[in-house]
Amino acid sequence: MNRRLTGALRALGVPAALITIAGVAFLAAPPAAAKSKPKPPLVTHEFSLDSCSALATSTGEGARNRFFPLQVGRVWELSNEHCVQAGRCDELEEVRITVLDETQTIDGVPTRVVEEREWVDGELDEVSRNFYAECVGTEDVYYFGEEVVDGDGNPLPDGWRAGVDGARPGIIFPGGAFLLGARYFQELAPGKALDWALNVAMGLQRTVPAGTFDDCVLVFDFNRLSDPKGKHPDSKIYCPGTGIIVDETLRLTSMTVP
Protein backbone atom coordinates (compact mmCIF):
# COMPACT_ATOMS: atom_id res chain seq x y z
CA MET A 1 0.00 0.00 0.00
CA ASN A 2 1.39 3.43 -0.81
CA ARG A 3 2.38 5.72 2.05
CA ARG A 4 -0.45 8.20 1.43
CA LEU A 5 -3.13 5.54 1.81
CA THR A 6 -1.42 3.99 4.83
CA GLY A 7 -1.01 7.37 6.51
CA ALA A 8 -4.63 8.30 5.85
CA LEU A 9 -5.86 5.05 7.39
CA ARG A 10 -3.62 5.40 10.46
CA ALA A 11 -4.69 9.02 10.96
CA LEU A 12 -8.29 7.86 11.01
CA GLY A 13 -7.50 5.24 13.63
CA VAL A 14 -8.04 2.15 11.48
CA PRO A 15 -6.47 -0.98 13.06
CA ALA A 16 -3.31 -2.29 11.39
CA ALA A 17 -5.03 -5.55 10.43
CA LEU A 18 -7.71 -3.69 8.54
CA ILE A 19 -5.08 -1.53 6.84
CA THR A 20 -3.48 -4.72 5.52
CA ILE A 21 -6.82 -6.16 4.43
CA ALA A 22 -7.88 -2.94 2.73
CA GLY A 23 -4.52 -2.61 1.05
CA VAL A 24 -4.62 -6.15 -0.33
CA ALA A 25 -8.22 -5.73 -1.48
CA PHE A 26 -7.44 -2.48 -3.23
CA LEU A 27 -3.95 -2.92 -4.61
CA ALA A 28 -3.71 -6.64 -5.30
CA ALA A 29 -3.23 -7.35 -9.01
CA PRO A 30 -2.22 -10.36 -11.10
CA PRO A 31 1.48 -10.67 -11.98
CA ALA A 32 2.44 -8.63 -15.02
CA ALA A 33 5.53 -7.53 -16.88
CA ALA A 34 7.40 -4.69 -15.22
CA LYS A 35 6.77 -2.36 -18.14
CA SER A 36 3.08 -3.15 -18.52
CA LYS A 37 0.71 -0.24 -18.03
CA PRO A 38 -1.25 -0.57 -14.74
CA LYS A 39 -4.96 -0.99 -15.18
CA PRO A 40 -7.50 0.80 -13.00
CA PRO A 41 -9.29 -1.46 -10.50
CA LEU A 42 -12.54 -3.07 -11.54
CA VAL A 43 -15.47 -1.11 -10.16
CA THR A 44 -19.16 -2.03 -10.28
CA HIS A 45 -20.83 0.19 -12.85
CA GLU A 46 -23.99 -1.69 -13.79
CA PHE A 47 -26.97 -1.01 -11.52
CA SER A 48 -30.50 -2.25 -12.12
CA LEU A 49 -33.20 0.17 -11.05
CA ASP A 50 -35.73 -2.30 -12.43
CA SER A 51 -35.28 -4.39 -9.27
CA CYS A 52 -36.67 -1.55 -7.12
CA SER A 53 -40.28 -1.96 -6.07
CA ALA A 54 -40.38 1.80 -5.44
CA LEU A 55 -38.12 4.77 -4.84
CA ALA A 56 -38.37 6.51 -1.46
CA THR A 57 -38.33 10.13 -2.57
CA SER A 58 -41.73 11.79 -2.73
CA THR A 59 -42.29 12.17 1.03
CA GLY A 60 -39.14 10.74 2.56
CA GLU A 61 -41.18 7.85 3.94
CA GLY A 62 -39.69 4.46 3.22
CA ALA A 63 -36.12 5.76 3.27
CA ARG A 64 -34.24 3.27 5.43
CA ASN A 65 -30.54 3.48 4.55
CA ARG A 66 -29.01 3.96 8.00
CA PHE A 67 -25.74 5.46 6.75
CA PHE A 68 -27.28 7.87 4.25
CA PRO A 69 -30.63 9.07 5.67
CA LEU A 70 -32.86 11.10 3.35
CA GLN A 71 -35.22 12.34 6.05
CA VAL A 72 -36.76 15.64 4.97
CA GLY A 73 -35.61 18.53 7.15
CA ARG A 74 -32.44 16.84 8.42
CA VAL A 75 -29.44 19.20 8.50
CA TRP A 76 -25.73 18.43 8.97
CA GLU A 77 -23.20 21.14 9.83
CA LEU A 78 -19.50 20.37 9.26
CA SER A 79 -16.35 22.43 9.76
CA ASN A 80 -12.56 22.12 9.62
CA GLU A 81 -12.04 24.58 12.47
CA HIS A 82 -9.99 22.02 14.43
CA CYS A 83 -7.63 21.72 11.48
CA VAL A 84 -7.22 25.51 11.24
CA GLN A 85 -6.54 25.79 14.97
CA ALA A 86 -3.93 23.05 14.72
CA GLY A 87 -2.18 24.95 11.93
CA ARG A 88 -2.72 22.20 9.33
CA CYS A 89 -5.32 24.10 7.26
CA ASP A 90 -5.00 27.63 5.90
CA GLU A 91 -8.68 28.34 5.25
CA LEU A 92 -11.76 27.84 7.40
CA GLU A 93 -14.22 25.63 5.53
CA GLU A 94 -17.82 25.12 6.61
CA VAL A 95 -20.53 23.00 4.98
CA ARG A 96 -24.25 22.76 5.59
CA ILE A 97 -26.16 19.81 4.09
CA THR A 98 -29.97 19.98 4.07
CA VAL A 99 -32.51 17.40 2.89
CA LEU A 100 -35.08 19.65 1.24
CA ASP A 101 -38.83 19.13 1.11
CA GLU A 102 -38.47 19.13 -2.64
CA THR A 103 -38.27 16.59 -5.43
CA GLN A 104 -37.10 16.79 -9.00
CA THR A 105 -37.72 14.32 -11.80
CA ILE A 106 -34.45 13.19 -13.40
CA ASP A 107 -34.53 10.78 -16.33
CA GLY A 108 -38.14 9.94 -15.51
CA VAL A 109 -37.45 9.26 -11.81
CA PRO A 110 -38.66 11.53 -8.95
CA THR A 111 -35.58 12.25 -6.83
CA ARG A 112 -35.05 13.87 -3.45
CA VAL A 113 -33.15 17.19 -3.52
CA VAL A 114 -30.30 17.57 -1.03
CA GLU A 115 -28.63 20.98 -0.87
CA GLU A 116 -25.01 21.56 0.10
CA ARG A 117 -23.72 25.06 0.91
CA GLU A 118 -20.00 25.60 1.31
CA TRP A 119 -18.30 28.63 2.89
CA VAL A 120 -14.59 29.53 2.82
CA ASP A 121 -13.44 31.99 5.49
CA GLY A 122 -17.04 33.04 6.04
CA GLU A 123 -17.88 33.72 2.38
CA LEU A 124 -20.29 31.54 0.41
CA ASP A 125 -18.16 29.67 -2.12
CA GLU A 126 -20.43 27.06 -3.71
CA VAL A 127 -23.98 25.71 -3.65
CA SER A 128 -24.95 22.32 -5.05
CA ARG A 129 -28.32 20.63 -5.44
CA ASN A 130 -27.91 16.85 -5.42
CA PHE A 131 -30.54 14.41 -6.63
CA TYR A 132 -30.95 11.10 -4.78
CA ALA A 133 -33.44 8.24 -4.69
CA GLU A 134 -33.48 5.22 -2.39
CA CYS A 135 -34.56 1.83 -3.64
CA VAL A 136 -37.23 0.42 -1.33
CA GLY A 137 -36.25 -3.12 -0.43
CA THR A 138 -32.50 -2.99 -1.17
CA GLU A 139 -32.01 0.43 0.54
CA ASP A 140 -29.44 1.37 -2.12
CA VAL A 141 -29.29 5.16 -2.50
CA TYR A 142 -28.85 6.17 -6.13
CA TYR A 143 -27.22 9.40 -7.30
CA PHE A 144 -28.94 10.97 -10.31
CA GLY A 145 -26.82 14.11 -10.67
CA GLU A 146 -26.23 17.60 -9.34
CA GLU A 147 -26.50 21.28 -10.19
CA VAL A 148 -23.61 23.46 -8.98
CA VAL A 149 -23.24 27.25 -8.81
CA ASP A 150 -20.60 29.50 -7.28
CA GLY A 151 -21.20 31.94 -4.44
CA ASP A 152 -22.61 34.49 -6.87
CA GLY A 153 -25.04 32.03 -8.43
CA ASN A 154 -23.07 31.43 -11.63
CA PRO A 155 -23.34 27.85 -12.97
CA LEU A 156 -20.21 25.70 -12.67
CA PRO A 157 -19.22 22.94 -15.12
CA ASP A 158 -19.37 20.23 -12.42
CA GLY A 159 -23.10 19.65 -12.90
CA TRP A 160 -24.52 16.54 -14.56
CA ARG A 161 -27.80 14.65 -14.87
CA ALA A 162 -28.62 11.01 -15.49
CA GLY A 163 -30.06 10.61 -18.98
CA VAL A 164 -28.08 13.52 -20.45
CA ASP A 165 -24.95 13.02 -22.59
CA GLY A 166 -24.66 9.37 -21.65
CA ALA A 167 -24.75 9.93 -17.88
CA ARG A 168 -26.29 7.20 -15.72
CA PRO A 169 -27.18 6.98 -12.02
CA GLY A 170 -24.57 5.53 -9.70
CA ILE A 171 -24.88 4.39 -6.08
CA ILE A 172 -23.88 7.01 -3.54
CA PHE A 173 -24.24 4.50 -0.68
CA PRO A 174 -25.23 0.81 -0.87
CA GLY A 175 -27.96 -0.60 1.33
CA GLY A 176 -27.97 -3.80 3.36
CA ALA A 177 -24.72 -5.19 4.74
CA PHE A 178 -21.55 -3.08 4.50
CA LEU A 179 -19.18 -5.19 2.40
CA LEU A 180 -15.47 -4.55 2.95
CA GLY A 181 -13.58 -4.18 -0.31
CA ALA A 182 -16.69 -3.39 -2.36
CA ARG A 183 -16.05 -0.90 -5.18
CA TYR A 184 -18.86 0.95 -6.92
CA PHE A 185 -19.32 4.01 -9.09
CA GLN A 186 -21.13 6.89 -7.42
CA GLU A 187 -21.14 9.21 -10.43
CA LEU A 188 -21.28 7.96 -14.02
CA ALA A 189 -21.13 11.04 -16.23
CA PRO A 190 -18.48 10.57 -18.96
CA GLY A 191 -16.21 13.58 -19.26
CA LYS A 192 -17.78 15.27 -16.21
CA ALA A 193 -17.77 12.98 -13.18
CA LEU A 194 -16.52 9.42 -12.77
CA ASP A 195 -16.29 9.13 -8.99
CA TRP A 196 -16.15 5.73 -7.36
CA ALA A 197 -15.95 4.43 -3.78
CA LEU A 198 -14.13 1.71 -1.87
CA ASN A 199 -15.46 0.32 1.44
CA VAL A 200 -12.37 0.27 3.67
CA ALA A 201 -13.26 -0.37 7.34
CA MET A 202 -16.21 -0.92 9.68
CA GLY A 203 -17.00 -1.10 13.40
CA LEU A 204 -15.19 2.18 14.10
CA GLN A 205 -15.80 4.56 17.00
CA ARG A 206 -15.18 8.25 16.34
CA THR A 207 -15.42 11.42 18.40
CA VAL A 208 -16.11 14.69 16.59
CA PRO A 209 -17.41 18.05 17.89
CA ALA A 210 -20.98 16.76 17.60
CA GLY A 211 -20.27 13.78 19.89
CA THR A 212 -19.01 10.19 19.95
CA PHE A 213 -20.40 7.70 17.44
CA ASP A 214 -20.14 3.91 17.27
CA ASP A 215 -20.29 1.22 14.55
CA CYS A 216 -19.12 3.70 11.91
CA VAL A 217 -17.69 2.83 8.50
CA LEU A 218 -14.83 4.29 6.47
CA VAL A 219 -15.20 4.87 2.73
CA PHE A 220 -12.57 6.13 0.30
CA ASP A 221 -13.83 8.21 -2.64
CA PHE A 222 -11.79 8.38 -5.87
CA ASN A 223 -12.00 10.62 -8.92
CA ARG A 224 -11.14 8.57 -11.99
CA LEU A 225 -10.89 11.65 -14.22
CA SER A 226 -8.30 13.55 -12.14
CA ASP A 227 -6.77 10.50 -10.41
CA PRO A 228 -7.07 7.51 -12.79
CA LYS A 229 -4.67 5.35 -10.77
CA GLY A 230 -6.60 5.87 -7.54
CA LYS A 231 -3.67 7.12 -5.45
CA HIS A 232 -5.33 10.15 -3.83
CA PRO A 233 -8.64 9.20 -2.21
CA ASP A 234 -10.90 11.37 -0.10
CA SER A 235 -11.77 9.72 3.22
CA LYS A 236 -15.30 9.82 4.62
CA ILE A 237 -16.80 8.28 7.75
CA TYR A 238 -20.50 7.47 8.07
CA CYS A 239 -22.32 6.30 11.20
CA PRO A 240 -25.66 4.47 11.54
CA GLY A 241 -28.64 6.72 12.15
CA THR A 242 -26.48 9.80 11.65
CA GLY A 243 -24.86 9.74 8.25
CA ILE A 244 -21.62 11.52 7.46
CA ILE A 245 -19.47 12.74 10.37
CA VAL A 246 -16.06 13.07 8.65
CA ASP A 247 -15.28 14.36 5.15
CA GLU A 248 -11.53 14.76 4.76
CA THR A 249 -10.66 17.59 7.20
CA LEU A 250 -14.33 18.43 7.87
CA ARG A 251 -15.93 17.19 11.10
CA LEU A 252 -19.60 17.12 12.07
CA THR A 253 -20.31 19.96 14.50
CA SER A 254 -24.10 19.58 14.79
CA MET A 255 -27.07 17.77 13.30
CA THR A 256 -30.73 18.73 13.31
CA VAL A 257 -33.32 15.96 13.09
CA PRO A 258 -36.94 17.06 12.53
| Residue 201: inside a domain | yes
In a domain, 34, yes or no: no
pLDDT-wise least confident of 30-34, 65-69, 118-122, 139-143: 30-34
pLDDT digits (tens, 9 = 90+) for 16-37: 544 444 443 443 344 444 455 6
Residue 199 belongs to some domain of the structure: yes
Q: Do residues 206 and 213 lie in contact, with contact meaning Cβ atoms separated by under 8 Å? A: yes
In a domain, 138, yes or no: yes
How many structural domains compose the chain? Answer: 1
Kindly state whether residue 32 falls inside one of the protein's structural domains. no
Contact 96, 76 (CB under 8 A): yes
C-alpha closest to that of 26 among 228, 182, 174: 182
Q: Rounded to two decimals, what is the model's pTM?
A: 0.82
Q: Looking at the domain assignment, is residue 35 inside a domain?
A: no
Q: Is the pLDDT of residue 137 over 50?
A: yes
Can you give the residue range of the structural domain that contains 203? 3-27+40-256
Specify if 77 maps to a domain: yes
Q: Could you count the other beta carbons within 10 Å of the beta carbon of residue 133?
A: 28
Is 145 a domain residue? yes
Tell me how far apart the alpha carbons of residues 213 and 241 are, in angstroms, rounded to a whole number. Answer: 10
